[in-house]
Structure 1
Amino acid sequence: MFRTRFYLYFLCVAVSMLAFTCVREYPATAPYTPPTTPTNPGNLPPQTQPVAQNRLFIGNDKIRLAIDLNMGGAINYLSEAGSSENMVNNYDWGRQLQTALYGGPFPYSVNGKDPVYFWRNLGWNPVQTGDYYNHPARIVSYQQGQNSLYVKTIPLIWPLFDEPADCFMEHWIELQGNTAHVKIRSTINRADTAQYDGRTQEMPCVYLNAPWYRMVTYTGTQPFTNGPVTEISKLEMLSHYTTENWTALLNDEGRGVGLYQPNQFRFKTNGFGSGHVGKEFDVTSYYMNADPFLQIDHNGVYEFEYTLILGTLADIRQYAYAQPRPETVPNFKFTKDRQGWFYYNVTDKGWPIQNELNVNWQRADTSKANFRVCSPFVYWKPTDVPKIYIQAAFTTKATTARIVWRKPEDYDFLDGPDRQIDFPIVGDGKFRTYEVNLSGHSGWSGLINQICLLNPQNNLEKGSNMRLKSVTVAPVQ
């Protein structure tokens, strides 16, 4: 997440802590000190830190990594073994290598606190490191092993003044050769029980220093064939359909950090500041993230994982190629979670998910044209998916439902005859398996990267319901 700051903080430069092994409760960190007005607003910030470091290091013969207990346990140090140059940018509390969540409403105010105006549309935005004012998030507990770290954090709401989020985050980090594998669990306990539209998350966001300016990924249609990669030059917040499930930030020598996430086809890149020279407290930084949509419930529990790969582009790609390949056909069975599906202008019965998605089959806001029950990004060749089988029970006066699909070149769902198909349904509330034949449709071609379900008969939507058990390429037995 790009965190433009209007203030700079001038506090003491601190001493990094040496690694040690411990398990104990850790209290909240240093008290807040008001910011000072910068004397050089047109220049890069000085090489000082907002608060003292409290880093826990782990390392092997390939990697050295640290989390900082004064920065919510976020990763704020990463280097190749034998190098003392930290790759991670620490210009403010929105950088680092960390997790950030996004939900409604927006703007989000609580406990008499309103958001910073510039960030008012971020909504409910827990950030692992801390907030816009450089308050650090609270550490609940941590554990350190020889090659592993665990930290439990109460994040802060980024645009609010020192406001703990109504959730906690847990991170498990383990070094394996030239990789760091990270598991994330976010547990939500919001008093606001409303269900808001699904939004993209930062799972994680990665900010590296200026020398790692080359933003590289694979966006082709023939993944895992060693095809040519794409190097992104635009310094904009751009989303990429990445069919090999990785993206990377590299330096002039072609070395850097790759970010791999299983079954993830949506990543973002960006760059902030200018130039290719700078250190960890300079404003210039280059960015990548894993950018999945997530439907966040007031009481949900969500787990993700990712791997950081240090080395060359060949090293990064070799790691990705060695992992289990993502599904290439629909195989969604909603037994205990939403399988990455999310909603626009529609709600379901909430968490926990128990063998089905129980969806209110009608628009939440009737001033909007429609609603969508959306899949995550996928990689499907239409020749491999001639039919889709939908196991569902509809309670509705409507007699048809609709599948809409996207292709990589589409900026969003483009409703129209070449991107959709209607199929008949029975609205008596009984489970049936609906076979949708797509093989003869002229628009079912090229590559499919997302689908959604909707009700094309909005005049018959009132009181409607859909209980969805599965969306698959073959009937579920």
Structure 2
Amino acid sequence: MRQQELGGWKAAHECHLGARKGNLVVRTTGGDPYLIASEVPSVSGSLTLEWRQRTKTRGSAEVFWGDARGGFAAERSVLVGYTPGETWQELKATLPVQGALTALRLDPCQGQGELALSWLRLKDATGKLVREWRFTNLKDAEPAGVLPPAEKWAYLDNGKLRIGVKVSSGAALGWLSLSKSERNLLNHWDHGRLVQQSYYGDDDGSIWGNKPWRWNPVQGGDYKGTAAKVLALKIGKTELYAKTMGRNWAGCTDLPEAIFEQWITLKGELAQVKYRLTYSGTHSHASRHHEIPAIFLEPDLDTLVVGGNEAARSKPGWPNEGRKLPEHWAAYVDKDEFGVGAKVPIADELTCYRFGDGKPEHGSCSYFAPLTKFAITPGMVFTYELYLTCGTLSQIRQRLTP
């Protein structure tokens, strides 16, 4: 398929181009949008790419290049952080090019939304301008595609805890705080970053992050930004019920054979959550580990504490690490020992990691998931309970320890 080209750049993946008031407008449709320069100057040595952008879409930018060693690859890329919002920002990436520059690619953000580029400049090691892209001569034209729907939430608050489900992400949990507090401890960066049901089956030919993935029904939505469908939502004073059709994380399709239910009840300082998967498919999947549930937290909660082994505190790295759960609970806390604790009585182990540079605006997060292992087979119904709380570590321990 022919790539759209405008202003010297091609919409190569998960984006559309337009123009508005002298700016190049990039409408992104998935989690990995990128543009490729139509032509690049034949220059050698260290280069600097500078550009001016504005976007509300969260994430970080990344610049890839090709040179004498080869084309676009992780070892020929540079991450650049930015702060999403209404203001223009000038960003810069230093490219240690070896031999002549052969290609240039800009990944401007990491999600669905819209971004404006005012200009881009490529300079050599002396600061001399070798190529500039400006868009003042472009005629206004709206990019194709549609903007993602606005976030929609539903909350419970019993005077001690405030908990919220992100209705626009399959009604999965996306908010946990003290009552009436504006400090949300949960990470809801995208449809994958929530507290949500997530199960795994056999290989289905899907690809995520350039790697083969598998059948993976999740509650929030897929990695390209399409939310799971909420089939029912009932909200009481201290109780909430949601029914959601599973969405295949990497396959990006609805999964009517995987129906999720979620009951949330606030009881003092505890949120009791009952989860249920009802599988009506005809395929029998092999036995695998499942996240019960996946729990994503803000990155300032950086220290993992495991109940029953609290002396062995740690700051997990990337990628996944494993831990045993002797008391079936764990918590992430901040420097003041305030954080989030979660207990799943049927889980004896967990997987965990911390991602990013610690800055929430760059997509950083802390993660853990209690695990269990079973096969998803026709007609099965799987139910479990999660107990969730926030407070100091001593308060978490008291509430989650038998």
SS at match of 2:234: strand
Match of 2:179 among 74, 81, 89: 81
CA deviation vs aligned residue, 1:9-39 (integer Å, no higher than 9, x gap): 99xxxxxxxxxxxxxxxxxxxxx97345387
Identical positions, percent:
25
Q: Could you tell me how far apart the structure 2 residues matched to 1:33 and 1:155 are?
A: 24
- Report the Cα offset of residue 174 of structure 1: 0.8
Q: Could you tell me how far apart the structure 1 residues matched to 2:394 and 2:188 are?
A: 28
SS at match of 1:166: strand
1:199 maps to what in 2?
288
* 1:57 pairs with 2:155: yes
Aligned residues: 278
- Report the Cα offset of residue 232 of structure 1: 3.9
- Report the Cα offset of residue 206 of structure 1: 0.9
Q: Could you tell me how far apart the structure 2 residues matched to 1:44 and 1:135 are?
A: 25
SS at match of 1:296: coil
Contact 2:224 2:252 in 1 (8 A): yes
Q: Could you tell me how far apart the structure 1 residues matched to 2:308 and 2:321 are?
A: 13
Structure 1 gap ranges (5+): 1-5, 11-31, 221-226, 323-477
Q: Could you tell me how far apart the structure 2 residues matched to 1:311 and 1:47 are?
A: 29
Point out the structure with the larger strand share. Answer: 2
Structure 2 gap ranges (5+): 1-12, 18-26, 36-52, 54-60, 63-78, 86-112, 114-147
SS at match of 1:206: strand
- Superposed, which structure 2 residues align to 1:27-426 within 5 Å? 34-35=29-30, 36-37=33-34, 40-41=61-62, 42-44=79-81, 46-47=83-84, 51-104=149-202, 106=203, 108-109=204-205, 114-116=206-208, 118-121=210-213, 123-192=214-283, 195-218=284-307, 220=309, 228-275=311-358, 277-278=359-360, 282-322=362-402
User: CA separation of 1:71/1:259 partners in 2, compared to 1, >3 Å: closer, same or farther?
Assistant: same
CA deviation vs aligned residue, 1:103-139 (integer Å, no higher than 9, x gap): 11x1x04xxxx44463523x11001000111100011
User: CA separation of 1:46/1:156 partners in 2, compared to 1, >3 Å: closer, same or farther?
Assistant: farther
Q: Could you tell me how far apart the structure 2 residues matched to 1:320 and 1:197 are?
A: 33
Contact 1:140 1:152 in 2 (8 A): yes
Contact 2:263 2:273 in 1 (8 A): yes
- Report the Cα offset of residue 45 of structure 1: 5.9
Q: Could you tell me how far apart the structure 2 residues matched to 1:210 and 1:255 are?
A: 13
Q: Which amino acid aligns with 1:118?
A: N
- Report the Cα offset of residue 44 of structure 1: 3.7
User: CA separation of 1:8/1:173 partners in 2, compared to 1, >3 Å: closer, same or farther?
Assistant: farther
- Report the Cα offset of residue 239 of structure 1: 1.5
Please report the TM-score for the alignment, with normalisation by the length of structure 2: 0.64
CA deviation vs aligned residue, 1:240-291 (integer Å, no higher than 9, x gap): 112111111111110110010114211121101012x425xx4100001111
SS at match of 2:332: strand
SS at match of 2:220: coil
Q: Could you tell me how far apart the structure 2 residues matched to 1:100 and 1:136 are?
A: 14
User: CA separation of 1:206/1:116 partners in 2, compared to 1, >3 Å: closer, same or farther?
Assistant: closer
Please report the TM-score for the alignment, with normalisation by the length of structure 1: 0.54
User: CA separation of 1:47/1:251 partners in 2, compared to 1, >3 Å: closer, same or farther?
Assistant: same
Alpha-carbon RMSD: 2.6
- Superposed, which structure 2 residues align to 1:411-450 within 5 Å? none
1:375 maps to what in 2?
none
SS at match of 2:401: helix
- Report the Cα offset of residue 219 of structure 1: 5.5
